Chain A
Amino acid sequence: MDRLMLDGNAVAGVLEEVFTVEMTTAIGTCGGCGATEPVGAIHVFKGAGFVLRCPHCDTALVTIVKDDARVWIGFPGMRRLLVDTSR
């Protein structure tokens, strides 16, 4: 592997920090192939930041870059996120 691949569980903390609800069980829809997966099952590549990629077609869904006080989140390929706000 030339890149370090993890999964959505690795970004649970930073996503909850921003969205204030548990996000690994949120269902994402890929804008590339239309597949739906829980965020926990989405591939995550870690470098200076994180890139979340569709496990089916490799489309870059979400990018996350952090510093001490701010988070930059981009959604280049995520068509939809279904978030359970009941708990």
Chain B
Amino acid sequence: MAGAAVLGRLTWLVADVVALVPETPRVKTIEFDVPGWPGHRAGQHVDVRLTAEDGYQAQRSYSIASAPDETRIELTVERLEDGEVSPYLTDELRPGDRIELRGPVGGYFVWEPSQDGPVLLVGGGSGVVPLMAMLRHRAATGSDTDMRLLFSSRGWEDVIYREELERLSGGGPQVVHTLTRSQPPGWTGYGRRIDAEMLAEVGPSAAERPNVYVCGPTPFVEAVAQALVGLGHEPGRVKTERFGPTGG
């Protein structure tokens, strides 16, 4: 079984940058070709490692945005002004460049089409990335799971994957936006932070026992998870993934 042990080992892989796509003024999607990529599940992430010429290394974790049935992987990265890694990824990388990554990692914040029950996805800002992998996986597999996304962004121009979400919502999933800081003229949607009332209006009720996935900045996740439990959702069915201003 020595071979199996070696296969199971998490190793650094070389990833070739294939394309970069701007999503919003601060967010870019980077498409990688990763020879030897073992495949992933919707919601998993990768560790990215950058090595400077003097040998200094910086490592960060990013959620995978693409559906599992693709041979290439996409990461969607928000540029953090004082970050060490994200400005390099969003501003400096060019097609043909190479970086190191390892994964997929994680297994807790994962959705499989075989899971029973409706799904409520609640995302704040770039917290939508692993949720997008779930929406794309649902579409790619032809799943008829009742899947709803409640997505909080600052303004309309900050909505990541805006056009693709509109297209996807035509195929079944319900996509509801809330714009917390500025709304375009004529906006009739939500214009406040996510609260219990909004979650009750959008989501399957606690009685329907949905699988809930909440991803965003820590204060966002805390507030949403607390509101969901207050609405009667079982804590064990509310899966959360927090990201902080981790020096990205």
Contacts and interface: CB of A to CB of B under 8 A. Distances in A.
A24 interface: yes
B244 A6 contact: yes
A25 B108 CA distance: 5
Contact of A8 (B10, B102, B108, B218): B108
B109 interface: yes
Interface string A1-30: 100111111101100110011101100000
A25 B107 contact: yes
Given A6-B246, A13-B61, A21-B8, A38 B108 contact: yes
B242 interface: yes
A20 B244 contact: no
Contacts of B232: none
Classify the interface of chain A: helix, strand, loop or mixed.
Answer: mixed
Contact of B108 (A13, A16, A20, A24): A24
A12 B8 contact: no
Interface residues of A, number: 23
A52 B57 CA distance: 24
B9 A12 contact: no
B240 interface: yes
B50 to A, nearest CB: 14
B103 interface: yes
Interface in B92-108: 102-103, 105-108
A41 interface: yes
Given A6-B244, A41-B239, A16 B57 contact: no
Contacts of B47: 13
Contacts of A8: 108
Contacts of A68: 57
B246 A1 contact: no
A9 B106 contact: yes
B6 to A, nearest CB: 10
B233 to A, nearest CB: 14
Most chain A beta-carbon neighbours within 10 Å: one of B5, B105, B108: B108
Contacts of B109: 9, 24, 40
Most chain B beta-carbon neighbours within 10 Å: one of A5, A8, A21, A22: A22
A51 interface: no
A5 B242 contact: yes
Interface in B78-124: 102-103, 105-109
B241 interface: yes
B45 interface: yes
B243 interface: yes
Nearest to B43: A9
Contacts of B244: 4-6, 46
B105 A39 contact: no
Interface of B: 5, 8-10, 45, 47, 57, 61, 102-103, 105-109, 218-219, 239-246
Given A7-B240, A20-B8, 5 more contacts: A12-B105, A13-B105, A16-B10, A22-B106, A41-B240
